[in-house]
Structure 1
């Protein structure tokens, strides 16, 4: 992939380079803002301006910020860190709750300016930079009749999302987004530019699909298989809090044999006036027509519990409306604390989740149950990502007053003390390694990942996992439950 800022669509022959649909910008000079030579406001904006979460540890101050706009800038940043004998952190952009990219005395490489997307009509593979969001990618692919099952939130960069496995659109049926990666371009810890696939540098290719922020190189481009674009239809049933167990059990019972093109979620959130909690069962169908969606959803409609306050059946929707809804659910300018668990398949899930769902600490907070069966029951490809179950729970605590920090974060930690005992592990995308030790991979995959990280980054040049004290180094996360010994 050539350096620069480009959007292009081709037929795989290379002839597209001669047309008008290929745009390439002149490479800009290497731009670096250093802590000691940049005015405070400018430096703070470079460090924190693209960090989504307002609940943050401002004591972490990088040595410098490199605003990369081409691969050469990424390579130069790594070379600089090697000369200075300091670490490199990476920012694609998104909802890293702990702001993993902001690390003490590191060179922060911000990839916001590294922008490219190209689509190959023959292979149906799209190549894009890590800072591209799922919304941007689907806007780009729409004219080709294709889509990519990226993150649900429109402002989440593909880099962190894919590295963590990628719980994307209809993950319960279509699988993890990282399974669609067919190749990556990287800059290694010793500043080499490499291509990785199943046959080239295959251990890095194995690791990129699930290593999370501990991936021992910097991805500069993803090459992704796309899917046919389908119409979207939304069915929603809203119930009072008193029906939580009934509604969630209905959702759980529905999942294993539900339509394979329908995503299923259950939410507990406050009502519009904030006085009560409501339980929302959502079914998002990807189908070629309204008739196909109605046929797929008929069994759900027939089996729904009585007592819904609101019912919506097979209402046409699209990515634009879905992304707009996500912006409302996770608004900018707020403080967030999140945690999650894959709950054991055989647990009494409604009982495990009830306290969380019925004790939300603020009006904007919500609890998410994401159905994962049948993806959770099939063998996964040979890749780092290896942790899942039928039941995914995530807590999203949202507030705006610093005075509420202890109360809101305390609620999350208190809930998880109970939930984790029914958990088989967690998803990195909604985790904060500073506060809870748990499993993110199978034991075998965790050990293999540790070996790959030591091979490709033996000095720990690239910042890995931000645990308590930021001390994980090349050893990485423990990948075990801390509560077993308590």
Structure 2
């Protein structure tokens, strides 16, 4: 395995190893003792044992897309998995075995083209499977297919003592339970996910879209909220406040992406939105032929590389006046590359979940992304995120791990019983806090884990 030590490497080589693969160009000022580029399970085991020998902590980087930079920790050995790429597909059982650093796009490029299947991975093409699945997996068509981690049938894990274990519902059940929703506090290093796949219905991948001027925000939002509860079960529904490419005006975009067996079924699914849409759309299309590849391209443009990011999220209370709660966030972006996002989560939000750590949800998922390029805009853009979420959080039941920063804000990420069990599992499997875990303010959480409570009272 290749090791880059901070105290002996060329500074430029060390800096590239430290933060070169981070998606967010707002780089953290934290410095691992060493970066290990692991290319196999054996090297991951060796890296954990090296950390134990050196009496230091272990940090892990899968895709490098966590905007808070959780993988970069002081006094740690960072296990960099970017060169550990592994994928096996069993078409008969519809199971894929994939390494954590594979991105959703890399996985689905193979599944769609070679096997006629897909996995509901992250929307942004650069998101690695490791962080995405550990934090729950709010991916493609989550409102109907559920969270990505629900389709994790097993995980292979290197424990904090350097032991390689297979974990599923029958063996090492606590680690399997925790791997589906623990986030960066998982007390081990996942080397492989065993994933249940979905048939990919290429001919039926079709979309409708309606771009409204921001002055029609309320009408458009009320409309999509009114039709979501009874809408087709294979259709993803979302709304974005953003500046569309080529339009120098803030807009509110409502999207419906249907994944059906045929174009005819897709048209039937999308027809209720077309027939009930409010007047005044600047641009619209109905049942347009689409594909997963095209959707990844759209997401890639919405989340450009080489930029500075700050994000937050909230699961809005089911009985809230959602358009009113999110109005300030949607009508006042700090930069023209920034955007806010609402996902319909109903009916997944109302069903009984499998027995797993992932447990925080509501009918409405909201996220805001400040995106900019110049360091001089850091304070302004970060302050915008903080001020918006300060208002919104009073109408939320909790947050999603994937768009959070524990250094900045404390809130709930799990139901109380799940949080208690998760922290107990962390302490049982990693009593010394060898695995870095949750990066809270001052990086003090250690083996104790993250406190699951709001900064305010609902």
Q: Considering the TM-score relative to the shorter chain, is it more than 0.5?
A: yes
Q: What do the CA deviations read for 1:269-326 (whole angstroms, capped 9, x no partner)? A: 0244564210000001101221111111111111111111111111111121111111
Aligned counterpart, 1:473: 446
CA displacement, residues 33-71 of structure 1 (integer Å, 9 cap, x when unaligned): 11111100001001111000011222x000000000011
Given that 2:178 and 2:422 are in contact with CA atoms closer than 8 Å, whether structure 1 keeps it comes out as: yes
The answer as to whether partners of 1:92 and 1:157 remain within 8 angstroms in 2 is yes
Deviates more, 1:402-411 or 1:271-280: 271-280
User: How far apart, in 2, do the equivalents of 1:255 and 1:109 lie?
Assistant: 43
Task: Give the distance between the partners of 1:165 and 1:42, measured in 2 at CA.
Answer: 34
CA distance in 1 between partners of 2:293 and 2:140 (Å)? 14
Q: Bigger shift: 137-146 or 190-199? A: 137-146
Q: How does 1:115-126 map to 2 (within 5 A)?
A: 115-126=85-96
Question: Retained in 1: the 8 A contact 2:349–2:363?
Answer: yes
Q: Which residue of 1 aligns with 2:268?
A: 295
Query: Equivalent residue for 1:366?
Result: 339
CA deviation after TM superposition for structure 1 residue 84, in Å: 1.2
Deviation at 1:32, TM superposition (A): 0.7
Q: Which moved more, 1:390-399 or 1:133-142?
A: 133-142
Query: For the Cα contact (< 8 Å) 1:214–1:465, is it kept in 2?
Result: yes
Matching residue of 1:75: 45
Q: Is the 8 A contact 2:19 2:27 kept in 1?
A: no
Query: In structure 2, how many angstroms separate the alpha carbons of the residues matched to 1:129 and 1:270?
Result: 36
Q: Does 1:333 align with 2:306?
A: yes
Q: 2: CA distance between counterparts of 1:176 and 1:307?
A: 34
Instruction: Summarize deviations over 1:333-362 as a string: whole Å, max 9, x none.
Output: 100000010000000000000001001010
Give the SS at the match of 1:468.
coil
- 5 Å-filtered alignment, 1:360-399, equals 360-399=333-372
Residue matched to 1:138: 108
Residue 16 (structure 2) aligned to one of 45, 59, 62: 45
State the superposition RMSD in angstroms: 1.0
Equivalent-residue separation in structure 2 for 1:466 and 1:246 (angstroms): 40
Q: Distance in 2 between matches of 1:177 and 1:392?
A: 15
List gaps (5 residues or longer) in structure 2: none
Q: Please, which moves more after superposition, 466-475 or 198-207? A: 466-475
- Paired residue for 1:238, among 211, 214, 220? 211
Which residue pairs with 1:441 in the alignment? 414
Matching of residue 267 in structure 1 with residue 237 in structure 2? no
Is 1:453 aligned with 2:430?
no
Aligned residues of 1:56 and 1:98 also touching (Cα < 8 A): no
Does the CA-based 8 Å contact 2:31-2:75 persist in structure 1?
yes
Q: Structure 1 residues 340-349 or 87-96, which shifts more?
A: 87-96
How far apart are the structure 2 equivalents of 1:377 and 1:484?
A: 24
Structure-2 residue corresponding to 1:32: 3
* Structure 1 Cα separation of the partners of residues 105 and 307 of structure 2: 21
SS of match in other structure, 2:229: helix
User: Whole-Å Cα distance in 2 between the matches of residues 217 and 446 of structure 1?
Assistant: 17
Q: Give 1:234 deviation, angstroms.
A: 1.3
Tell me the residue number matched to 1:63: 33
Match of 1:88 among 58, 74, 88: 58
Cα deviation 1:128-183 (Å, max 9, x = unaligned): 10001111111111221111110111111000000000001000001000000001
- Per the normalisation by structure 1, the TM-score is 0.92
Distance 1:183 1:279 in 2: 40
For residues 130 and 106 of structure 1, the distance between their equivalents in structure 2, rounded to whole angstroms, comes to 20
Q: Does the 8 Å contact 2:28/2:72 carry over to 1?
A: no
Matched with 2:133 is 162
Query: What does residue range 114-263 of structure 1 map to in structure 2 within 5 Å?
Result: 114-142=84-112, 143-231=114-202, 232-263=205-236
Q: Is the 8 A contact 2:64 2:71 kept in 1?
A: no
SS of 2:442's partner is helix
Which residue number corresponds to residue 80 of structure 2?
Answer: 110
Q: Distance in 2 between matches of 1:192 and 1:401?
A: 44
Checking the alignment, whether the CA contact within 8 Å between 2:58 and 2:435 is kept in structure 1 is yes
Change (3 A) 1:284 1:219: same
Tell me if structure 2 keeps the 8 A contact 1:274–1:363: no
Matched pairs, number: 455
SS of the residue 1:98 aligns to: coil
Distance between the aligned counterparts of 1:271 and 1:311, measured in 2?
Answer: 13
Greater displacement, 389-398 / 288-297? 288-297
CA–CA separation in structure 1 for the residues paired with 2:104 and 2:26: 24
The CA deviation at 1:85 is 1.0
Runs of 4+ in 1 over 6 A off after TM superposition: none
Contact 1:269 1:278 in 2 (8 A): yes
> Deviation of residue 410 (structure 1)?
0.2
